[in-house]
Amino acid sequence: MNASRARALLLAPALGLLGFAALDAAGRAQGVLTGMTASPALDAAVFALATAVSAQWHHRAWRRGGRAAAWGAALAHVATFPFLAGLLAGVADLTWLGGWGVPGLVRAALGATPANLLATFAVELPLVTLPLGGLAVAGLAASARRGR
C-alpha cells in the first residue's frame, strides 16, 4: 500500500466520524431523525467505514486522473455515499441487533435504511449534508493528490 492510500485510510474514517457527528447534531437541533440503526456507535462506525470504502474507490481518479476525472469521482462519491452507508448500516443492524430471520426487518434494513439516508441527505438536511459532502471530497481529493 502506498503512502497516499494509507493517508486516505486514516483521513477518511475521521471525515466520516466528523460527518456523523455533524449530522446527528443537526438532526437533534431540527427534530429530524437521522439514525440508521438504534445504536449511535454503530452509525458512527458505518459512516467511518463507508467514507473509507468510497475514498478507496475514488482514490485513483483523484490521484492520477485529470480535472474531469476528479470532478466525476467527487460527484460519484456524493451520489453513492447514502446508498453505500445505508446498505452497510442495514447489514450492521441486522447482524448486531438481530433480524436476519425476519423478512420484514431485512426489507426495512436493506431497503428503507438507504432510502431514508438519501432522503435525509437530499431533502431533510441538504444545507448540512451538501457542505459536509463538499468538505469530505475536498479533503480526500487533496490528500490523494499530495506528493503527486
Nearer to other proteins, 3 or 41 (CB): 41
Nearer to other proteins, 55 or 89 (CB): 89
Q: In angstroms, what is the minimal distance from the CB of 30 to other proteins?
A: 13
Q: Which residues sit at the interface with other proteins, rule CB under 8 A?
A: 33-40, 43, 97-99, 102-105, 107-108, 111-112, 115-116, 119
Q: In angstroms, what is the minimal distance from the CB of 129 to other proteins?
A: 17
Sequence letter at residue 77: H
Distance CA 122, CA 68 (A): 24
CA distance to 28, 46, 77, 109, 148, per residue, from 81 (Å):
22, 11, 6, 16, 26
Nearer to other proteins, 40 or 131 (CB): 40
Distance CA 9, CA 52 (A): 6
